[in-house]
A and B are shown apart, each in its own frame.
Chain A
Amino acid sequence: MAEETRLKVRIDREKCQGHARCYALAPELFELDEMGNGRERGDGTVAPGLEHKAHLAQANCPELAIEVIEEQRS
């Protein structure tokens, strides 16, 4: 069976300071709480076709709070 890579995003809530760049760039993957701090939607799984948005959000987080994790599935 072919091996498949799937991305997940995760926000470190200790690092997040609410710049809200992730939500502006990738609202499909991130949401904000009532204080305006970011969190990943659901379990953070990146739907196919949105991988570039996960990386874009990561590249624009001033606090380096976003992790993009590659999960191998078979």
Chain B
Amino acid sequence: MSGPAPVHDWATDFDHRDPRWIEDPYSIWDQLRRSCPIARTERFSGAYFPSRYADVKAIAYDTEHFSSRRIIVRETRPPLIPAPPITSDPPAHRPAKQVLLPAFTPEAIGRHAPRTRDICRALIARFADKDGCDAAVEYAQEIPVRVIAHMLGVPEHEGDLYRKWIHEILELGITDIQIALRASDEMVAYFAGHIAERRARPRDDLIDYLINVRIEGRPLSDEHINGTLRLLLIAGIDTTWSAIGSCLWHLAGHPQDRRRLVAESSLMSSAVEEFLRAYAPVTMAREVVKETRIGGCTFTPGHMVLLSFPAANRDPTEFPDADRVVLDRKENRHAAFGLGIHRCVGSNLARMEIRVALEEWLGHISDFRLDPRASVTWSQGTVRGPRRLPVLFGA
């Protein structure tokens, strides 16, 4: 398969599909932060890439000039596919988000923790007595899909289907929009079936909740419900899977951090936040809808912004020693879940899953390392995380 043309100058021609970006984006971002903090490209019909925390924050806060109606930088501008609230701008954003929030508070999410722990234990039991496993394929990728499927009330065993859609929409679809549109159509049909089924036979799950919830006395349209369900499924799976995988990748390669975390379980909370900072999986996008200047750069309507929370999180101006993982970092205003009104609605869910996944893994497998005979592969595009993570058990 032929990839995109090689990048010769990251400042004027960046491409987040480039193999070097996929392998090690951090050194590219460091270089850009020093030389050209808002990079440009004519690819993707025109896009910007801010690498400083301050600029990422300013754009995330500025919903007047930057719209969320497109949240993925693609080669072409496909028709709008609403998935409220992530694709909503004010004033529609607020009510669309409000209806979801009560289901995702720390308290509501806490009720799913025991089941998450059971899922983790069952997965570990499959490989605990072997020499090693693929921690991405056999562990990380299997956890969030089961939890969100249970919350939504869709079959947990259809994980392969959900992951196929996500891969087609978030990775392949950046280059070939037809693949993304087809996957999106399949998802619409899939959830339309589930919505119709709930209307006939109500159940106690999130689909039911969305059917019954009201915004100012009015029920959500089926299109709205369907869009929100597609969002929850897509956003609830490979993001957290990537985060769990990155945590384990770090711990496999940093025995001192691993031993410290095993010995001092009280560090877990700050460690999870630090992993989220250093290995934030999610990069979003905005479409410029009104001309404005930020960070000394003019943003032209019609162009996209690759809004990299991971790059913001590595800005040494905001985070001293930004490229080092400090498990007990005291000051950590990381942007892994976004900043401003689009703060990830699932942030409490993600935190719970990451924490439980790490606790269970370290509780059973306190020593592990990267398998020197195999290689780690990383996803491409909007969500960054290991897709193959072969590890060996034992020190």
Instruction: Report A's interface with B, CB cutoff 8 A.
Output: 17-21, 23-25, 32, 34-36, 56, 59-64
The answer to whether B332 and A32 touch across the interface, beta carbons within 8 angstroms, is: no
Given A56-B330, A62-B333, 17 more pairs with CB closer than 8 A: A17-B340, A19-B343, A20-B105, A24-B269, A32-B106, A35-B98, A35-B105, A36-B102, A36-B105, A59-B331, A59-B333, A60-B331, A60-B332, A62-B334, A62-B335, A63-B339, A63-B340
Chain A residues with CB under 8 Å of B107's CB are: 32
Instruction: Report B's interface with A, CB cutoff 8 A.
Output: 98, 101-102, 104-107, 269, 273, 330-335, 337, 339-341, 343, 347-348
- Bound-state Cα–Cα, A73 to B340, Å: 36
A25 and chain B: residue at smallest CB distance = B269
Q: Quote the shortest CB–CB distance from A51 to chain B (angstroms).
A: 14
B333 CB contact (under 8 Å) in A18, A23, A25, A61: A61
Interface of B is mostly: helix
Most buried by A among B102, B104, B106, B269: B106
Chain A residues with CB under 8 Å of B348's CB are: 20, 36
B100 and chain A: residue at smallest CB distance = A35
Q: Which 10 A-B pairs have the closest CB atoms?
A: A36-B105, A59-B331, A17-B343, A35-B101, A62-B333, A60-B332, A36-B101, A34-B102, A20-B106, A62-B339
B340 and chain A: residue at smallest CB distance = A17
The answer to whether A20 and B347 touch across the interface, beta carbons within 8 angstroms, is: yes
A-B contact pairs, 10 of them (CB 8 A): A17-B340, A18-B347, A23-B106, A24-B269, A34-B102, A34-B105, A35-B98, A60-B273, A60-B332, A61-B333
- Bound-state Cα–Cα, A24 to B348, Å: 10
The answer to whether B105 and A32 touch across the interface, beta carbons within 8 angstroms, is: yes
- Bound-state Cα–Cα, A68 to B321, Å: 26
The answer to whether B105 and A19 touch across the interface, beta carbons within 8 angstroms, is: no
Q: Quote the shortest CB–CB distance from B60 to chain A (angstroms).
A: 10
Chain B residues with CB under 8 Å of A59's CB are: 330-333
- Bound-state Cα–Cα, A61 to B335, Å: 10
B336 and chain A: residue at smallest CB distance = A62
- Bound-state Cα–Cα, A64 to B340, Å: 11
Chain A residues with CB under 8 Å of B273's CB are: 21, 60
The answer to whether B106 and A24 touch across the interface, beta carbons within 8 angstroms, is: yes
Q: Quote the shortest CB–CB distance from A67 to chain B (angstroms).
A: 15
The answer to whether A35 and B339 touch across the interface, beta carbons within 8 angstroms, is: no
The answer to whether A18 and B343 touch across the interface, beta carbons within 8 angstroms, is: yes
Q: Quote the shortest CB–CB distance from A56 to chain B (angstroms).
A: 7
The answer to whether B106 and A36 touch across the interface, beta carbons within 8 angstroms, is: yes
Chain B residues with CB under 8 Å of A21's CB are: 273
B344 and chain A: residue at smallest CB distance = A19
The answer to whether B101 and A18 touch across the interface, beta carbons within 8 angstroms, is: yes
Q: Quote the shortest CB–CB distance from A65 to chain B (angstroms).
A: 11
A17 and chain B: residue at smallest CB distance = B343
